Amino acid sequence: MYQSLLPLIGWAATLAVCLCAWWRGGPAERIGAVLIVAAAVAVWLAHNAIPEGPGGSALLIIDAFVAVGFLALAIRYASLWLGGAMLFQAAQFSLHAYYLVMEKPHDRFYAVSNNLVTLAILLCILAGTVLAWRARSRAQA
């Protein structure tokens, strides 16, 4: 399936952050984690089930749904980590749009940019989880 250990590390990091958000985060972090896991599964399906040509459109649609989800969360919960996640998701959407419009094949720059943006979104969710966890701990004390 995978020819490198790096995608498995990426999946492990995604699941670890999302499980931590589900376990210790507040409602916004939980919904954000569900958005990321759903998007990761949808992207995996798009890469494995759709031919290369229409696959770019599928990635753009998935990114649009995640961006709208983060926008709705940002409007509802108005936290700093959601603003960061939303901006990084906009960068991801722009990356996919650029490669789709220019009809460029996915190269190393695409892979590195895509993975860095995904990591940044995961770090935003993790930061939000830690902040919610600390706020809840302070409120209980």
Q: What is the chain's pLDDT, residue by residue, as a tens digit (141 residues)?
A: 567 888 889 899 999 999 999 999 999 999 999 999 999 999 888 888 876 655 678 888 999 999 999 999 999 998 899 999 999 999 999 998 998 899 888 899 998 999 999 999 999 999 999 999 999 888 887
Show contacts of 135-141: CB within 8 Å, 24+ apart: 136/26
pLDDT number for residue 105 = 87
pLDDT number for residue 54 = 59
pLDDT number for residue 55 = 61
Is 45 within 8 Å of 82 (Cβ atoms)? Answer: no
pTM: 0.89
Is 70 within 8 Å of 88 (Cβ atoms)? Answer: no
3 state DSSP class of 50: coil
**Dihedral Cα 46, 48, 53, 56, nearest 10 deg:** 30
The terminus-to-terminus CA distance of the chain in angstroms comes to 48
- Helices and strands in the chain, H and E counts: 5, 0
DSSP string of 25-46, one letter each residue: --HHHHHHHHHHHHHHHHHHHH
